[in-house]
Structure 1
Amino acid sequence: MINVKWWARPAEYLDVWQAMQAFTEARDGGTPDEIWLVEHRPVYTLGQAGKPEHILNSGSIPVVQSNRGGQVTYHGPGQVLAYCLIDLRRLGIYAKEYVELLEKGVIGVLKELGLARACCKAGAPGVYVPMEQDDLAKIAALGIKIRKGCAYHGVALNVAMDLSPFLGINPCGYEGLRTVDLRTCGISIPFEQAGDLLALRLSQVFEGYGSGVR
């Protein structure tokens, strides 16, 4: 059973990041997995291999060097973060498989909401939707950290947000990558409902993996 918890909104990135690290350091083989649902104050985060040149114009938005994988991304109001605190060793999941499970959970949500063509993109982790001329736009980003066989950080789904801060960066290190949200795609859903659905679908893919259901 995976425990799902909402953080008070909006949350400071550093507060949640420090709490994830503390949780991971303190857990043992019997600690239940958790998914934290979070909406952040505006912040740019750089992954461990993040290149500062991918930040084009941060303006008044703070930049935080994080320990997750990946390049630069933006978090802010209207975007739901599902921070997945998962014991990969206990479930027998390797990092590559874990990324695929995160993507599978998000795609399940999007298809349930009517975006039947949501997909992954080879060599570019995350979830995308086809737009005009079938160009792919990113609707969900992910970044993970694995410590002692346990994962934290997770996936960010754009629900209904001001997308303009993404113009201040090369999202995930890709110049000109278009970023969209559910609202842009014609999907109207209450923020909390989107978060609850995301946590449910992620829980199902993790628990299905653990039970041998693929």
Structure 2
Amino acid sequence: MAGPATQARTGVARDLGRQPYAPVWRAMQAFTDARGDDTPDELWLVEHDPVFTLGQAGKPEHVLMPGDIPVLHVDRGGQVTYHGPGQIVAYPLLDLKRLKIGVRDYVCKIEQAIIDTLDEWNIGAARKDGAPGVYVNGAKIASLGIRVRRGCTFHGLAFNISGESTPPFSRINPCGYAGLQVVALSDLGGPASLEAVKPALLAHLGRQLGLAWRQDSALPCLQAA
């Protein structure tokens, strides 16, 4: 188990609300390209409009029946996943070198933060060897897909909160696994409201990463779009 970092820095947490995927993706890339040694780490929370994304290793044959949901090829790791209403998507934009966190440990810390969040509702969850993400009784409740550029992270995690987030997964082989079951927090007796879960997820991500969050406004470039 990945333990919490020992020394807290201040990071900026932004709640972007509901947004289409592509503008947030481009904003993450721009933030990462422009950041310097003193740029504060940030965490963006967002609920996306429906979209399937194929990671760098993504195979189109794992997209079975996209229908009216667009498919985007993106620059994160991993295979195909779905983002849409009823999910908390969290994008940690971190300087891993400055935080002294290795990539493998970073993945473990993100997974542990989700596991600890689920424990708030007495839901036992676990990792699965060779298949990044978080699982409850073998069903996937959270997916991970990250990118590290010059030691800095973007992309992140998608955490299924309400049941409406899960049906589109039947149109794909989630993360490249045919027949993989997907579940949401509300299916397990937890809340269906994203707002009920965000504070717990923020707290556990901060604890694992050694960051104390300072809330800030949403990104001006997205507000103006």
| Same fold at TM > 0.5 | yes
Structure-1 residue corresponding to 2:204: 201
2:153 alignment counterpart:
151
Structure-2 separation of matches of 1:145 and 1:16: 15
Query: For 2:132, what is the secondary structure of its paired residue?
Result: coil
CA distance in 2, matches of 1:170, 1:48: 16
Unaligned runs of 5+ in 1: 131-135, 209-214
**1:110 and 2:118 matched:** yes
Q: CA offset at residue 29 of structure 1? A: 1.1
CA contact (8 A) 2:76 2:147 kept: yes
How far off is 1:189 after superposition? 4.7
User: For 1:164, which of 162, 167, 172 is the aligned residue?
Assistant: 167
Identical pairs, percent: 51
Q: Quick check: 1:139 aligned with 2:141?
A: yes
Alpha-carbon distance in 1 for matches of 2:198, 2:163: 14
Give the drift of 1:52.
Answer: 0.4
Q: Could you list the structure 1 runs, at least 4 aligned residues long, displaced by more than 2 angstroms after superposition.
A: none
- Give the partner amino acid of 2:146: I
Q: Does 2:53 correspond to 1:32? A: no
- Contact 1:47 / 1:69 at 8 angstroms: preserved in 2? yes
Q: Pick from 70, 75, 87 the counterpart of residue 67 of structure 1.
A: 75
**1:158-213 deviations in whole A, cap 9, x for unaligned?**
000422110000000001000000011111252112123212211110007xxxxx
Q: Is the 8 A contact 1:82 1:198 kept in 2?
A: no
Structure 2 residue runs of 5 or longer lacking an equivalent are: 1-9, 212-225
For residues 200 and 32 of structure 2, what CA distance do their matches in structure 1 show? 24
Residues of 2 paired with 1:87 and 1:113: CA distance? 31
In structure 2, the residue corresponding to 1:48 is in which secondary structure? coil
Q: 1:89 pairs with 81, 85, 97, which one?
A: 97
Deviations 1:77-130 (A, max 9, x none): 000001100110111212111111110110010011210x20000110000001
TM-score, scaled to structure 1: 0.91
Q: Which residue of 2 aligns with 1:128?
A: 135
- AA aligned to 1:59 is G
Matched, 1:3 2:29: no
SS in 2 for 1:39: strand
